[in-house]
Amino acid sequence: MPGKSSSIKTRAARAAYVDKRLAALYPETPIPLKHDDAFTLLVAVVLSAQCTDKRVNEVTPGLFALARTPEQMMRLPVGEIARIIRPCGLTPQKSKALSGLSKIIVEKHNGRVPRTFEELEALPGVGHKTASVVMAQAWGVPAFPVDTHIHRLAFRWGLSDGRSVVQTERDLKKLFPREHWNALHLRMIYYGREHCTARGCDGTVCEICRTLFPNRKKAVRVRSK
């Protein structure tokens, strides 16, 4: 571990430390959202917007009992989808999105979840972050989805200036080896949930914050995404 008398000076050096430390803390990187295939993963990620993974994992079994394929989902009334997913919040938008994206997958993609960012992002309710999660976790394509935890940590750890999630993603992709992206974004999420939380650490408390910036005295105010 670096000495406590001074900060790790460069972004590259901080990134190297973070990469190594998180790999040691989280050698395994299971996907937090329960799913069986690319479609059930896509549905779970859409539901996870402004909702915890725990809540999504509680809701999806009931939904998938009725519709676990695009064909079944498109035939399920939107009102029924809404009834089941209500605990996840944003019910009108999410229920319409799940119905709409299922229809497009069936009609335009032969019932198969697309394998490109462009095709995924063209689906209702699927933005760049959702597409990145599916590309990384379903298809193994290197991607670096930036959620609230990653955006917060990247700023606190001096890996990005935190202007936006778009800039944070660019900065992280430049700093870390491409082959590490998929595991690393999950490791950052795990660490952010367990140690460098919004309330539990202000940039001066957790192990990595203290190691990277041992002389930091003031709380780090993370900018809006």
Is 174 one of the annotated active-site residues of the chain?
Answer: no
Q: Given 9, 37, 147, 217, which residue is catalytic?
A: 147
Phi, psi dihedral angles at 28 (to 5 degrees): -105, 145
Q: Given 94, 129, 171, 202, which residue is catalytic?
A: 129
Nearest Cα to 188, choosing from 208, 162, 174, 205? 208
| Residue 58 burial (CB count, 10 A) | 13
Q: Which residues contact 181 (CB under 8 A, 6 or more apart)?
A: 136, 142, 143, 144, 172, 173
Task: Please give the distance of CA 74 from its chain centroid, rounded to a whole number.
Answer: 26
Residue 222 DSSP label: P
Is 53 one of the annotated active-site residues of the chain?
Answer: no
Q: Kindly list the catalytic residues.
A: 129, 147
